Amino acid sequence: MTDTSKRDNDRKNTEHSDDASYVLMCQKGNTDSFRVLVERHQKKMLNIAYRITGDYEEACDAVQEAFFSAFKAIKKFRGEATFSTWLTRITMNHARNRLTKIRSFSHHVAPSINDPVETETGQVLFDPPTQEEPILAQIEKKELQAKVQECINTLDEDFKEVLILRDIQEFSYDEIRDILDIPEGTIKSRLFRAREFMRNCLKHKLGDIT
């Protein structure tokens, strides 16, 4: 184990023990303690929700609902998993619900001409990659990030969640197993398929990605 990963583990352990003490105070009715937990985890939860929904406003609403649900249910929290894991699970549930609403709404919206097309065989065809040179590096970077997010949005939810938790949020396999409640083999399988899909998607969107 490298020094960096050791430091990360030490930091995580310190956060977990701090979380536990604040959780204990919350369970005794101290609302101010929950503020500390909110401030500590809000950014991470917002990013998870944003990558799942692909919509900033929806992600904010989902995180707000998630913290409210966590506060209501905090007396039932037994500490079997870390507070971060428990909160992530709640946030992902709310984000999923938001995504379902978005998708049901988008059924009534005319598809964009930039949306990928699904063939009769189920293969997803993407628009040909643009050959235009970016005018500014910043715009190019944002476009690149937007296309990555578009590819993430087209992933099936099971694959998307594993990809976000592992490659974006860098959770360990144990943590992902606790959050999603699936075995490690399933996590690895889904991660492989998700990465393959992303590779193909980005190749279609960007051309040569090497």
Partner 1 sequence: MTCKDIEEKLTAYQEGTLPPEEKRLVEEHLVECAQCSTNLAELEKTVGLLKNLPEVEPPPWFAQKIITHIRKSSEEKSSILKRLFYPFHIKIPLEVFATLCVVALGLYVYKISVPETKIYQTPPTAIIEVPAKDATVDKLKDEPKPIEPSQAKPDKGALLRKEQVPKPSFRDEAQRAPSEAMGEQKEEAPVAIGVAPPASAPFIGREKDVNGSADSERKEEPAKKAFQRAPLPGKADVQSHAEVVVTLSVENLASASMEVEKVFRTVGIAIIKRESQDGIQTFIVHCPAQKLQWLLDRLRAIGDLGDSHTTAGTLNGDLRITIRVEQR
Which residues contact partner 1 by CB under 8 A?
Answer: 31, 34-35, 38-39, 42-43, 46-47, 50-51, 56, 59-60, 63-64, 67-68, 71, 144-145, 148-149, 163, 167-168, 170, 188, 191-192, 195-196, 198-199, 202-203, 209-210
Q: Minimum Å distance from CB 194 to partner 1? A: 9
DSSP letters of 105-143?
HHTTSPPPTTS-EE-TTS-EEPPPPP-PPPSSHHHHHHH
The C-alpha angle with vertex 19 and arms to 18 and 23, in degrees rounded to 5, equals: 120
Q: At its nearest, how many Å lie between partner 1 and the CB of residue 142?
A: 9
Residue 35 Cβ, how far from partner 1 at the closest point, in Å? 5
CB of 108 to partner 1, least distance (A): 27
Angle at 26 between CA 25 and CA 27, to 5 degrees: 90
Comparing CB distances to partner 1, the nearer of 111 and 196 is: 196
Residue recorded with tokens 């399933």: 186
- Residue 124: φ, ψ to 5°: -95, 125
For partner 1, the closer CB: 111 or 168: 168
Is the CB of 63 or the CB of 95 nearer to partner 1? 63
* Phi (first) and psi of residue 125, to 5 degrees: -105, 130
Q: How far is the CB of 109 from partner 1 (least distance, A)?
A: 24
Indicate the residue among 7 and 199 with the shorter CB distance to partner 1. Answer: 199
If you write DSSP's letter for every residue of 19-63 in order, what string do you get? HHHHHHHHHTT-HHHHHHHHHHHHHHHHHHHHHHHS-HHHHHHHH
Output 3 or 120, the one with its CB closest to partner 1.
Answer: 3
